[in-house]
Chain A
């Protein structure tokens, strides 16, 4: 019953960790590298709120469906659905890294 909150975000194949948060940023479920990461959850929630203020497309009514925050070797992929914030930490393996 508890795992029903997670909507499969814990089963993503290469997942290093996950968080499921309420709209206010309270942790409902967490696992892997993000287990009990409340401080991170707080910062991620603020990031989601700021991102919602940036117009991603010419259609003003449209909001984002995904945010990726990408470092050199891993990334956070964030989505919001049904009043929940889902975060998945995954490895970042670019096939052809862009070289300046």
Chain B
């Protein structure tokens, strides 16, 4: 059932600069992960919810970008799915 999702994640991870991708549901369950530990699903879902709570009346959910020298993570949730993209500098 999740083959199509995994196929999309695999294609995404082939893009230069993307080291990993993860898909989580609202409860922090890992739906799919590539290039990163599935255990991160809990933290990813949690941070997406915490960020949305900053402005609960907003019509859109925010994008969270966590940056460091060695790479960054982009997190966004839409409907009931939260995506995290792990990027490394080229």
A interface residues with partner B (beta carbon < 8 Å): 40, 43-44, 46-47, 50-51, 53-59, 62-72, 75-76
B68 at the interface (CB under 8 A from A): yes
B58 at the interface (CB under 8 A from A): yes
Contact B46 A50 (CB under 8 A): yes
Inter-chain CA distance A50–B28, complex, in Å, is 13
**Cβ-neighbour of B66 out of A46, A54, A75 (below 8 A):** A54
Instruction: Look across to chain A and name the residue whose beta carbon is closest to the beta carbon of B75.
Output: A54
Instruction: Look across to chain A and name the residue whose beta carbon is closest to the beta carbon of B55.
Output: A71
B17 at the interface (CB under 8 A from A): no
Given A50-B46, A50-B47, A69-B62, the answer on whether A57 and B54 have CB atoms closer than 8 Å is: no
B interface residues with partner A (beta carbon < 8 Å): 19, 40, 43-44, 46-47, 50-51, 53-55, 58, 60, 62-73, 84, 86, 88
Contact A57 B64 (CB under 8 A): no
**Cβ-neighbour of B54 out of A43, A56, A65 (below 8 A):** A43
Contact B68 A63 (CB under 8 A): yes
Interface centre among A50, A64, A68 (most CB of B within 10 A): A50
Contact B70 A59 (CB under 8 A): yes
Contact A46 B68 (CB under 8 A): no
Given contact pairs A47-B51, A50-B47, enumerate 10 new A-B contacts (beta carbons under 8 Å): A43-B54, A53-B43, A54-B47, A56-B71, A58-B88, A59-B70, A62-B68, A64-B66, A69-B51, A70-B64
A68 proximity list for chain B (CB < 8 A)? 63-65, 67
